[in-house]
Structure 1
Amino acid sequence: MSTTTAPGSAAFLKAIELRRSVYTINDKIPIPDEKVVEIVEAAIKHGPSSFNSQSPRAVVLFGDDHKWLWETVLSILKPIVPEEEFPKTEGKVNGCFKAGHGTVLFWEDNAVIKGMQDMFPLYADKFPEFSGHASGMAQFIVWTALANEGVSATLQHYNPLIDEKVRDHFKLPVTWHLVAQLPFGTATAPAGEKTFKPLNERVKVFGK
């Protein structure tokens, strides 16, 4: 089977390759903050969602608000993480996440999900799953688009531990629940080596 792709798809697939988990970042980025916001807005607006529910939400943090988030993460983790392990956790949060330029918080709106469940009761049990799909695609779009601009990131999940405090601090709707956090910056070291399982075990093609 030919692996040749059209120029447009080749560029898109190359952007996907650029998207990696990078844990060593600094607070400098090669694009203005406004470009980051533009990327996030485009992802939230155009990212697909089942029944066009448009359930994903996003909050973009820069400067002191970004730092506040990761200080809050540590303050919540400290009573939970064993004392002998906390220095490692603290080093990771401060060195990998807080050290970045900003953070994108991905949320889902439970009010939208409940509304879809009421409107389409036949699929009521599926809408939380559909919501996860929509959020995952929004995360992927932002992460990949940032990588294509030379901005590195990792996807973190300190929810639901931090949900309430973050919602209260930024005065967000109580119906929003946090799904993921994407701290971003410029890589100070390359991503680690990535290995791949054989594609013939992961992709099956029939009818040719």
Structure 2
Amino acid sequence: MMMSFTDLQEKRRSIYVLGDNVSQTPEELFELVKSAVKHAPTAFNNQTVRTVVLFGEKKDQLWDITADRLKSEVPTEAAYQNTLEKLNSFKAGVATVLFYSDTDVVKTFEENIPLYSENFYDWSEQGHGIAEYATWLAVTEAGLGANIQHYNPLIDESVAKAFEIPAHWRLRAQLNIGSIEEPAPTKEYMTDDDRFKLVK
């Protein structure tokens, strides 16, 4: 029985203990990501979202790059060891999706539609949020876990060089995917009255 959209929303959680015990092939997971991003809406249908899906040694290379970059940022050796433990948990998954924004497309829309030029960057960011969430829900529907990270812009230059990323692509997020080896804790919600208002 397929889950409803609401069920998927409730089931989607940040899973930090990931594994590689998945039945899907890299090609199948790649198609899942492609479909989720392709059908996610963007302002003026400008389709600014780009993705790079890393598996195996390439995925591990990403987190090795991140570890090297953070070595100069983390203040103590003890803190750095905690950082390495966290990065290794991302390595333990089966894939990492790099989400990029194509800044050339954003600039083109800014130039061609000057009336809304101040909005296109914000709208691109909104498109990213939608695409990332759509991908996360698709991963959830596939029975897998995920967590999203934002080590950009610290790692941007090194990652672009390692994976031959076009200069006009701007890194926005990293989504780690894998089997759920440990469920997320119970989620707490603030009161509805503090968040929602009904006006009739």
Q: Calculate the TM-score normalised by the size of structure 2.
A: 0.95
Aligned-partner SS, 2:148: coil
The superposition leaves residues 84-135 of structure 1 with CA deviations (integer Å, 9 ceiling, x where unpaired) of 31011111111x2011111011000000000010011121111111010001
Q: For residues 33 and 11 of structure 1, what CA distance do their matches in structure 2 show?
A: 26
Matched, 1:87 2:81: yes
Aligned-partner SS, 1:154: strand
Moved more, 32-41 or 175-184: 32-41
Contact 1:30 1:151 in 2 (8 A): no
The superposition leaves residues 123-152 of structure 1 with CA deviations (integer Å, 9 ceiling, x where unpaired) of 111111101000111100111110111110
Q: For residues 30 and 143 of structure 1, what CA distance do their matches in structure 2 show?
A: 17
Q: Displacement of 1:53 after TM fit?
A: 0.7
Unpaired runs of 5+ residues, structure 1, are: 1-7
1:93 partner letter: L
Match of 1:70 among 58, 63, 70: 63
Match of 2:30 among 32, 37, 42: 37
Contact 1:59 1:105 in 2 (8 A): yes
1:73 partner letter: T
User: Which residue of 1 is the match for residue 151 of structure 2?
Assistant: 158
Moved more, 67-76 or 43-52: 43-52
Q: Displacement of 1:30 after TM fit?
A: 3.1
Q: Displacement of 1:41 after TM fit?
A: 0.9
Matched, 1:193 2:182: no
The superposition leaves residues 48-105 of structure 1 with CA deviations (integer Å, 9 ceiling, x where unpaired) of 10111100000000011000000110010011111331011111111x2011111011
1:165 partner letter: S
Q: For residues 26 and 193 of structure 2, what CA distance do their matches in structure 1 show?
A: 42
Match of 2:96 among 103, 107, 110: 103
Q: For residues 83 and 62 of structure 2, what CA distance do their matches in structure 1 show?
A: 15
User: Which residue of 1 is the match for residue 15 of structure 2?
Assistant: 22
Q: Displacement of 1:203 after TM fit?
A: 1.9
Q: For residues 16 and 29 of structure 1, what CA distance do their matches in structure 2 show?
A: 21
Q: Which runs of 4+ in 1 moved over 6 A?
A: none
User: Which residue of 2 is the match for residue 125 of structure 1?
Assistant: 118
1:19 partner letter: R
Q: For residues 35 and 196 of structure 1, what CA distance do their matches in structure 2 show?
A: 34
Aligned-partner SS, 1:129: helix
2:196 partner letter: V
Q: For residues 197 and 178 of structure 1, what CA distance do their matches in structure 2 show?
A: 31
Contact 1:15 1:144 in 2 (8 A): yes
User: Which residue of 1 is the match for residue 197 of structure 2?
Assistant: 204
2:133 partner letter: F
Q: Calculate the TM-score normalised by the size of structure 1.
A: 0.91
Q: Displacement of 1:35 after TM fit?
A: 2.1
- Percent of aligned positions with the same letter in both sequences? 39
Match of 2:173 among 157, 176, 180: 180
Q: How many residues were matched structurally?
A: 199
Aligned-partner SS, 2:149: coil
